């Protein structure tokens, strides 16, 4: 069995326990699978957690809000970084009937979905570190409770890979994986040439498929094609923070690949200064921030066809002194926040 296959096999009991979020099963798997010193690095507002606090801090409130919550993975990939670290990356959504408040988000009584990108670093068959972002703003938007500026892209339930092979153990060579990884790294290097060089230096057509889809986090949204990517994400992002990519010594990025899929996680993996207007409605106050951006890419015919991106936007606002949750409570204080008397599951 290959290392990638072994690592997928190692993580599958956790995914199985989370399929229907079985509390006892999840607790048991975490106790067994997570190393004693494991640090769980969760998105804002959860923060860094010890393994024994993982379920109670994150999953117990979610299970209370959505008693029928289930986990739907759309990508499961493994790989070894070029410095020898072994990672498993998971992409998908938590889905359930939203009947009680979650992080002060008012319930809707309807099916709701919250994207996740979760990365697990394995050492000797145990989880040594977790880096994970849940797209909490996505849940706020479905409840009509998002208290910040609207995104420019399309907000929707982001799809699985169009090839429907995100969970497959398809045959591939190490050379194939390395070629995919090199393509993504070269693309990112080209992006960093602008704005010190003209926009053409980014060579977007060289790296991206003409029918590419960029699935950004809620608050930014999805963009279609290079024109959509440029207008609904890249131009506002670069105008606001033209010095991105210039602080490599202050960030860490863990890249790995499996066949046509490439992934990166980092905590943080980007740093830049907000000196221009136009991104997320943030005032350009000259403050330096870091970003946690956890991404997946799928290549097709040697170019990037799909890119799933989650950024911890709530952490961005927190660094700027903006308490999104305080604004959420003010924005929704006239709404009924009591749990809904609404049947869940098989009860009519």
Q: Which of 3-17, 39-53, 130-144, 237-251 has the lowest mean pLDDT?
A: 237-251
* 267-270 long-range Cβ contacts below 8 angstroms, 24+ apart: 267/41, 267/131, 267/292, 268/292, 268/293, 269/293, 270/244, 270/245
pLDDT of residue 195: 83
pLDDT of residue 346: 65
* Gap between the Cα atoms of 330 and 323, Å rounded: 11
pLDDT band at 190 (very low <50, low <70, confident <90, very high): very high
* Gap between the Cα atoms of 121 and 116, Å rounded: 16
Percent of the chain residues topping a pLDDT of 90: 89
pLDDT band at 197 (very low <50, low <70, confident <90, very high): confident
pLDDT of residue 19: 97
* Gap between the Cα atoms of 166 and 160, Å rounded: 7
* Gap between the Cα atoms of 252 and 294, Å rounded: 12
Token code pair at residue 161: 């890979």
* Gap between the Cα atoms of 333 and 343, Å rounded: 25
Within 8 A by CB and 6+ apart from 335, the residues are 106, 145
Instruction: Name the helix (H) or strand (E) containing 327.
Output: helix 324-331
pLDDT in tens, 219-244: 999 999 999 999 999 999 999 999 98
| Predicted confidence (pLDDT) at residue 53 exceeds the cutoff of 80 | yes
pLDDT of residue 347: 60
**Residues 273-302: what's their mean pLDDT?**
95
**Residues 27-40: what's their mean pLDDT?**
97
**Residues 268-290: what's their mean pLDDT?**
94
* Gap between the Cα atoms of 94 and 92, Å rounded: 7
| Predicted confidence (pLDDT) at residue 171 exceeds the cutoff of 80 | no
Q: Of 2-6, 192-196, 315-319, which one has max mean pLDDT?
A: 315-319
pLDDT band at 1 (very low <50, low <70, confident <90, very high): low
pLDDT of residue 172: 82
Instruction: Name the helix (H) or strand (E) containing 36.
Output: strand 34-42
Instruction: Name the helix (H) or strand (E) containing 210.
Output: strand 208-215
| Predicted confidence (pLDDT) at residue 308 exceeds the cutoff of 70 | yes
| Predicted confidence (pLDDT) at residue 70 exceeds the cutoff of 70 | yes
For the chain, domains (ranges, CATH) are 3-148 (3.10.450.50), 174-330 (3.10.450.50)
pLDDT band at 196 (very low <50, low <70, confident <90, very high): confident
Percent of the chain residues topping a pLDDT of 70: 99
| Predicted confidence (pLDDT) at residue 281 exceeds the cutoff of 70 | yes
pLDDT in tens, 100-153: 999 999 999 999 999 999 999 999 999 999 999 999 999 999 999 999 999 999
First to last CA, the chain: 47
In terms of DSSP bridges, do strands 86-97 and 111-123 run parallel, antiparallel, or are they unpaired?
A: antiparallel
Q: Which of 43-52, 68-77, 217-226, 278-287 has the lowest mean pLDDT?
A: 278-287
| Predicted confidence (pLDDT) at residue 348 exceeds the cutoff of 70 | no
């Amino acid at each position: 069995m290959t290392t990638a296959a072994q690592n997928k096999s190692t993580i599958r009991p956790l995914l199985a326990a989370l399929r229907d979020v079985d509390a006892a099963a999840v607790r048991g798997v975490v106790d067994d699978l997570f190393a004693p010193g494991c640090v769980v690095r969760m998105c804002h507002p959860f923060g860094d957690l010890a393994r024994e606090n993982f379920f109670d801090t994150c999953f117990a409130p979610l299970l209370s809000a959505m008693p029928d919550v289930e986990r739907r993975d759309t990508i499961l990939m493994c790989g070894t970084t070029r410095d020898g670290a072994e990672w498993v990356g998971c992409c998908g959504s938590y889905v359930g009937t939203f009947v009680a408040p979650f992080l002060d988000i008012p319930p809707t009584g309807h099916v709701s979905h919250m994207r996740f990108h979760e990365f697990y670093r394995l050492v000797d068959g145990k989880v040594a570190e977790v880096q994970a972002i849940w797209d909490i703003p996505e849940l706020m938007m479905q409840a009509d409770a998002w208290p910040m500026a609207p995104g420019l892209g399309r907000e929707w339930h982001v799809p699985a890979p169009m090839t429907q092979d995100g969970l497959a153990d398809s045959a591939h060579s190490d050379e194939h994986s390395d070629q995919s990884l090199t393509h993504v790294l070269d693309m990112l290097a080209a992006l960093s040439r602008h704005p010190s060089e003209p926009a053409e230096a980014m060579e977007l057509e060289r790296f991206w498929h003409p029918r590419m889809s960029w699935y950004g986090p809620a608050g930014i949204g999805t963009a279609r094609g290079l024109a959509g990517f440029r207008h609904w994400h890249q131009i506002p992002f670069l105008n606001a923070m033209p010095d991105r990519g210039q602080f490599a010594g202050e960030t860490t990025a863990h890249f790995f690949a499996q066949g046509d899929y490439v992934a990166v996680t980092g905590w943080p993996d980007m740093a830049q200064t907000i000196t221009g207007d136009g991104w997320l409605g943030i005032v350009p106050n000259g403050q330096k921030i870091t970003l946690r951006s956890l991404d997946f890419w799928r290549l097709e015919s040697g170019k990037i066809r799909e890119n799933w991106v989650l950024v911890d936007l709530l952490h961005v606002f927190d660094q700027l002194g903006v308490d999104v949750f305080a604004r959420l409570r003010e924005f929704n204080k006239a709404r009924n926040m009591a749990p809904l008397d609404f049947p869940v599951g098989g009860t009519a």
